[in-house]
Amino acid sequence: MTPPTAPQGAAPSEGPQPVPATLPVTLTVNGQERTLELDPRVSLLDTLREHLHLTGTKKGCDHGQCGACTVLLDGQRVLSCLTLAVMHDGQAVTTIEGLGTPDDLHPLQDAFIRHDGYQCGYCTPGQLCSSVGTLDEIARGVPSHVTADLDDVRFSADELRERLSGNLCRCAAYPNIIAAVSEVHASQNGASQNGTAQPGAAQNGVGQ
């Protein structure tokens, strides 16, 4: 059967228009505005590592299971392997490179060093970004699955274990990580604050 043809002299119908291979994406990365032309399928993680050459953010499982790729997006922690860069046009991203420098460490970086909160160090960028986000969540009163009173969110070792449970450490430095984060919270809020976990008190059972 011959397919129908347009009447003589009629304008041909327009077919599907080609989809652009790339899209412009503007991100403020560590305080610096960056505009890129990206394939819409590129993850935020690959954008940071392959396009902006910020390799501090690690690719571990690439499936949202290990937490090594954690960054801060508008101040909130996200798994950068699970989200597309084009979804975050106009937003601010903070990576481990934006937390501190060798000459001016972030308090958590300093505490991780003093408490040996790492061994191989592969998970450490994600652990640090997640810890920054965790302390901010608690300060803002954002509850977790273990919060007893949703109207009164308090810092505790249990809160830390729950909130950081998505960041895996093959070297099992969990007790030292909890100690480091607890110390920073205490220094920022006063060690006598109710619900504050002392650095050494959080070690038993961490990572069980």
Q: What's the DSSP call for residue 190?
A: -
Query: Is residue 137 one of the residues assigned to a domain?
Result: yes
113 & 197 share domain: yes
119 & 195 share domain: yes
Pairing of strands 92-94, 23-29: parallel
Q: Which residues of the chain have pLDDT under 70?
A: 1-13, 191-208
66 & 113 share domain: no
Mind listing the pLDDT tens digit for each residue in 17-35? 777 899 999 999 999 999 9
- Please, what is the end-to-end C-alpha distance for the chain in angstroms? 70
For residue 138, the enclosing domain spans: 107-202
197 & 117 share domain: yes
Boundary of a domain, candidates 75, 99, 123: 99
Mind listing the pLDDT tens digit for each residue in 46-76? 999 999 999 999 999 999 999 999 999 999 9
120 & 187 share domain: yes
Regarding pTM above 0.85, the answer is: no
**Cβ contact 78:39 at 8 Å:** no
Strand order in the sheet with 70-73: 32-38, 23-29, 92-94, 70-73, 76-79
Query: Is residue 7 one of the residues assigned to a domain?
Result: no
